[in-house]
Structure 1
Amino acid sequence: MNLALWIATGLLAAVALGGGVTKTFVPKERLAAARGGGWTADASTGFVRTLGVLELLAVPGLLLSAVVAPALVPVTALCWVALMIGAMITHGRRGEYPFVAVNLVYLALAAFIAWGRIWEVSA
């Protein structure tokens, strides 16, 4: 079980790193032109950058917290669940259902991590 949790955590951290770097450092106009990035045209630059920074903060929250403060891993994973709910709503309103499905997979990974690490911390 621990191996599966680490694999899921690594995958989610990679997703967070990729999304965070993109939203933080790529100009909003380029994001808006990219497939699945149309929502950024309707959002402020500050909002997009804030989401990027939050995603970047999820990386150490998932990986380093496991070593330093294990109780923070499920908190980070639950925050990711909330982020993915927002992403699913945003893409759903735009009719971008394939992205809703991708966000649902990320949500499931985060929920699995939260569930597994909560039981581990409480045991």
Structure 2
Amino acid sequence: MNVFLWILAGVLAAFFLAAGLGKVGRPYDKVRANPNMKWVEDFSPGQLKLLGTAELLGALGLILPAALDIAPILTPLAASGLAVIMIGAIVTHARRKENQPIVLNAIVLVVALVVAIFRFGPNSF
């Protein structure tokens, strides 16, 4: 189970690392110009950078604390925080009546919850 949780955390970290870098590393107008990112219009440039930073920190928090054995409690906390971000994403897309992204958000939410629950509970470090 431990290897399975590491794989889930790694996939989740890669997903949020890419998502966070896309929000932090590109100008607001370029992000907004992406046809798959129309939801960005509901947020200011500062809010988008804050969201991207939270995703980057969450991605790092999934892997580094446990891998370095420094405050490994941060791993399930990071997974919980990323689950909250996914709940916000689902609400945002639902308000905008964008149903297709909700499926991906729900899958990522479930993966984040699995990592959080099992790392808090029976498979903690």
Establish whether TM, by shorter chain, passes 0.5. yes
Match of 1:105 in 2: 107
TM-score, normalised on structure 1?
Answer: 0.93
Range 91-100 or range 106-115, more displaced: 91-100
Question: How many residues are paired up?
Answer: 122
Match of 1:61 in 2: 61
Match of 2:11 in 1: 11
Q: Structure 2: how far apart are the matches of 1:55 and 1:34?
A: 19
Report the 3-state secondary structure (helix = DSSP H, G, I; strand = E; otherwise coil) of the residue aligned with 2:116: helix
What RMSD in Å do the two structures reach over aligned CA positions? 1.3
Equivalent residues of 2:62, 2:75 under 8 A apart: yes
Equivalent residues of 2:59, 2:78 under 8 A apart: no
Match of 1:76 in 2: 78
1:115 Cα deviation from its structure 2 partner = 1.1
Q: Unaligned 5+ residue runs, structure 2? A: none
Look up the equivalent residue of 2:64 and give its one-letter code. Answer: L
Match of 1:121 in 2: 124
Q: Unaligned 5+ residue runs, structure 1? A: none
Look up the equivalent residue of 1:106 and give its one-letter code. Answer: V
1:80 Cα deviation from its structure 2 partner = 0.7
CA offsets 1:82-113 (integer angstroms, 9 cap, x no match): 10000001111112111111011110010000
Q: Structure 2: how far apart are the matches of 1:92 and 1:64?
A: 33
Q: Structure 1: how far apart are the matches of 2:8 and 2:98?
A: 25
Q: Structure 2: how far apart are the matches of 1:115 and 1:53?
A: 24
Equivalent residues of 1:13, 1:63 under 8 A apart: yes
Q: Structure 1: how far apart are the matches of 2:98 and 2:11?
A: 23
Q: Structure 1: how far apart are the matches of 2:52 and 2:103?
A: 20
Identity of aligned residues (%): 38
Equivalent residues of 2:65, 2:75 under 8 A apart: yes
After the TM superposition, which segments of 4 or more aligned residues of structure 1 sit over 6 Å from their partners?
A: none
TM-score, normalised on structure 2?
Answer: 0.92
